[in-house]
Structure 1
Amino acid sequence: MNTADLNSNFPVDFVRSQFPAIGNSETVFFDNPAGTQLPDQVFRAMQRTGADATANLGGAFARSIAAGEELLRAERRAAAFLGADDPEEIVFGPSMTELTFQMSRAIARTLSPGDEIVLTNQEHEGNFSPWLLAAKDFGLVIRRVEVDPESWRVEQSALEEQLSNKTKVVALNYASNLTGSINDVHALTKSAKSVGALVYIDAVQFAPHDIVDVKSIGCDFLVCSAYKFYGPHLGVLWGRKDVLNDLPADCVACTVQHPNAKFERGTPQYELHASLNGCLDYFEDLGQKLRPETTGIAAIHAALELAKYHEDALCHQLVNGLTDIPGVSIFGISDPSKMDFRVPTVSLISSSVPHKVLAEQLASAGINVWHGHNYAIRILEQFDHDRNNGVCRFGIGHYNTATDVERAIVAVAAAHDKSQAVA
């Protein structure tokens, strides 16, 4: 079966029916890189937990036991979702940024003044500022890798130029939240490991669009955000168990010193654990619909795999349509032969319409997009773009349609026609 067949057979109408915010709505949701809409299963799981399992952990009574079971199920399924086996390697937190702040400081406390941390200009600020501030507080040195202007990726050779025997941490972006570029994290991790560095990967923008496998990558940490893959506002971090065990954690005296629990301070967010399970239930149900012979993580992978074909076809349509509009360029990969190296997050730069104005005009047409720097200021600075104007960013999800894309292209073209008429 070829890509076109997979795309035409993807049950997008069924998918849309699972999302209460979408349903028969006329709104086009292209704001997905900042947060996706939620399927019914998430709401049902949250309601069920509120009714049956709202209690603190460790009690002998039924509701406490049920809350603990929901948490363990969430840990197990999150581990499987990221390609791991051990639930104790999963740390939950409010967001990717919050988890990265916590882990960066825990790691920095194990380093010595003069040790080096390598960052890339492709990072979301949530995987840049925490390391920058930790370096300042602990006397560490920051080295930076630029994005290749031809490939729009962090190239292995550029990373290796910044590595040395003093390199202790390499923080990498799996897929850019601004350009959509996918880095070869397997090769980059291999280079970092050659000098004995820990590898910390931000997979927030990759996880909604493809299968993550931490074992295959060989990294030490990988973090993502459930609300970017149709789940609740919950950050999810996988860490190699031996590394988590050795890291210091700021916690109260009676905290159970499990490798993950010591980083989860205070009362757990039970309703969010349940909602994450609901999100993964949704993907499993979708995968079973698409490939009835699959169950569990295999069904989830089937859903992700076939959704990817659907999203990729829409991304081709969007990039092709936008590049045909005079005054519009793509900030990222637009070469049709290289589209496999990007996720369907597409940023445009307009030479005639301020991006805030363009986003407002799109909003008035019922199309939700983001504008500005989108917390990716380092790459904008590298390419000499005004961070305040930034870009206008479109993010495709598996509930989007070809009609959504066409509406967006027409609206962007109309905004530029209007600007030319005014001029």
Structure 2
Amino acid sequence: MAPVAHSSYDVDRIRWHFPALREGAAHFDGPGGSQVPDAVATAVVGTLTSAISNRGTVTPAERRADRIVLAARAAMADLLAVDPGSVVFGRSATELTFHLARTLSGDWGPGDEVVVTRLDHDANVRPWVLAAEARGATVRWAEFDPATGELAPDAVGAVITGRTRLVAVTAASNLIGTRPDVRAVADLAHAVGALLWVDGVHATAHVTTDVPASGADFWVCSPYKFLGPHLGVLAAAPGLLETLHPDKLVPSSDAVPERFELGTLPYELLAGTTAAVDFLADLVLPDPSAPRRDRLVASFTALEEHEDALLATLEARLRAIPGLTAYSNAKRRTPTLLVTVDGHDPQALRAALAERGVNAPAGSFYAWECSHHLGLGAAGGLRMGLAPYTDADDVDRLATGLEEICGRARATPTARSHSHTGGSVA
């Protein structure tokens, strides 16, 4: 029997719904993919074991497929505060970005420019760089401050010109957690008639998302980062999507958003996505009669408070470890920490923590430009990310593990925050 539910954030009740946690590990690998609640697995299995076929209106199997697709669009629309007709599904956020980059760059040419940032995951860099190269357009780079981790709007604005066609920026760094001011960047892009493409993969898992309020023209995210199955989602205004004509098969639908979806959709994964959004909407069990969007806002508000409190405890202990350098220093960020420790290879730290039942991966996590800009190269660092199921015991196990591996703090902590010259006393 599940623990008794309360209206506040009850992490014990939430954890009960995650079968994977019964294996005993403390999971800090959520930025790479979260664990999945029972309701999501049930939805996937239920779909796979039901009669289903291509979408239609004649047979029960056809109608079931259609309902699943429409329900998933409605669920993601509530999560992102968009119209269901804005929602496009794909294999991954990376695939969707490559697909739309080819479409959006169709009329680019010499003299046109695209702006990317050093803060981003390579999935929001390389598609645009390759598209620009193919069309003879110019790529301009916005730099973030490696000491603070901040990507200032002015740094992006400095490389936006009247020739800019598109600006690509992250809503939150998957490596160091920084959350740039997307709305300010949107205003700068729109002032010169450019489009704004936002990688919301990391941010959507942690904070209330309102795509229209962000100013983003395109927003991509991945349900497997927020308790769902492996899938990619793109949101863009239906009117904007109507103006775009991607390569597609002749017989496939030319309607929006279907014209952007290649092949038959994975119905079982769409059902799992709907279940994940419904689970998130009930994290704090608000009024069940309230609209799902309202419940999602209430849940994410409570989730942020929960994760921020745990992060404060974790940071206080980790930053006191001798020789530790923290690279997650922005004022506004997700509950994500990237660190290195003098004399300890990040992969060795990862392995030593794993022996203690703590899953915290190491590397650069496809944030290629970001890791190199921090001076970490391809090796990156040890990354720890919190999730809705993280509890105080998990945090204590992680902190205690690193203290045992690296040594506890001396009377005067020597932990450092990263600076361009190699770190300064925190």
**TM-score, reference length from structure 2:** 0.91
Offset, 1:312: 0.6
- Structure 2 CA distance, aligned partners of 1:140 and 1:266? 31
Unaligned runs of 5+ in 1: 1-6, 419-423
Amino acid at match of 1:217: S
- Structure 1 CA distance, aligned partners of 2:352 and 2:206? 28
The residue number in structure 1 matching 2:79 is 81
SS at match of 1:222: strand
- Structure 1 CA distance, aligned partners of 2:263 and 2:178? 37
The residue number in structure 2 matching 1:227 is 224
SS at match of 2:167: strand
Which among 340, 346, 360 is matched to residue 355 of structure 1?
346
Offset, 1:40: 1.1
Matched, 1:29 2:20: no
The residue number in structure 2 matching 1:236 is 233
Residues 8 and 345 of structure 1, relative CA distance in 2, 3 Å threshold: farther
The residue number in structure 1 matching 2:313 is 317
SS at match of 1:162: coil
SS at match of 1:72: helix
Q: Deviations over 1:6-50 (max 9, x none)?
A: x9952010000011111x442001000000011111111112212
Matched, 1:124 2:121: yes
The residue number in structure 2 matching 1:421 is none
The residue number in structure 1 matching 2:374 is 383
Matched, 1:58 2:56: yes
- Conserved 8 A contact 2:116-2:125: yes
Unaligned runs of 5+ in 2: 1-5, 409-426
SS at match of 1:142: strand
Amino acid at match of 2:373: Q
**Bigger shift: residues 8-17 or 309-318:** 8-17
Offset, 1:224: 0.4
Q: Deviations over 1:345-370 (max 9, x none)?
A: 11111111000100000111111111
- Structure 2 CA distance, aligned partners of 1:9 and 1:84? 27
Residues 8 and 269 of structure 1, relative CA distance in 2, 3 Å threshold: closer
- Conserved 8 A contact 1:319-1:330: no
Q: Deviations over 1:117-146 (max 9, x none)?
A: 000000001111111111111111100000
The residue number in structure 1 matching 2:173 is 176
Off by >6 Å, runs of 4+ in structure 1: none
- Structure 1 CA distance, aligned partners of 2:258 and 2:274? 19
SS at match of 2:401: helix
Offset, 1:284: 2.6
- Structure 1 CA distance, aligned partners of 2:286 and 2:110? 53
Which among 188, 193, 197 is matched to residue 191 of structure 1?
188
**TM-score, reference length from structure 1:** 0.92
Paired residues in the alignment total 403
- Structure 2 CA distance, aligned partners of 1:156 and 1:194? 13
Amino acid at match of 1:382: H
Amino acid at match of 2:163: K
- Conserved 8 A contact 1:322-1:329: no
Residues 53 and 299 of structure 1, relative CA distance in 2, 3 Å threshold: farther
- Structure 1 CA distance, aligned partners of 2:85 and 2:275? 20
Matched, 1:414 2:410: no
Which among 366, 374, 381 is matched to residue 365 of structure 2?
374
% same residue: 34
The residue number in structure 1 matching 2:254 is 257
Residues 231 and 27 of structure 1, relative CA distance in 2, 3 Å threshold: same
Matched, 1:160 2:177: no
- Conserved 8 A contact 2:101-2:128: yes
SS at match of 1:109: helix
- Conserved 8 A contact 1:110-1:247: no
- Structure 2 CA distance, aligned partners of 1:305 and 1:325? 31
SS at match of 1:207: helix
SS at match of 1:286: coil
The residue number in structure 1 matching 2:424 is none
- Structure 1 CA distance, aligned partners of 2:51 and 2:35? 25
- Conserved 8 A contact 2:75-2:278: no
The residue number in structure 2 matching 1:397 is 387
Which among 284, 300, 308 is matched to residue 304 of structure 1?
300
Which among 134, 139, 150 is matched to residue 137 of structure 1?
134
Q: Deviations over 1:269-320 (max 9, x none)?
A: 1001100111112123334x24566342211221111111101111111111
- Structure 1 CA distance, aligned partners of 2:34 and 2:61? 31
Q: Deviations over 1:30-78 (max 9, x none)?
A: 0000000111111111122123352111251111111101101111221
Which among 196, 200, 219 is matched to residue 197 of structure 2?
200
- Structure 2 CA distance, aligned partners of 1:398 and 1:33? 12
- Conserved 8 A contact 1:84-1:214: yes
Query: C-alpha root-mean-square deviation of aligned residues, in Å?
Result: 1.7
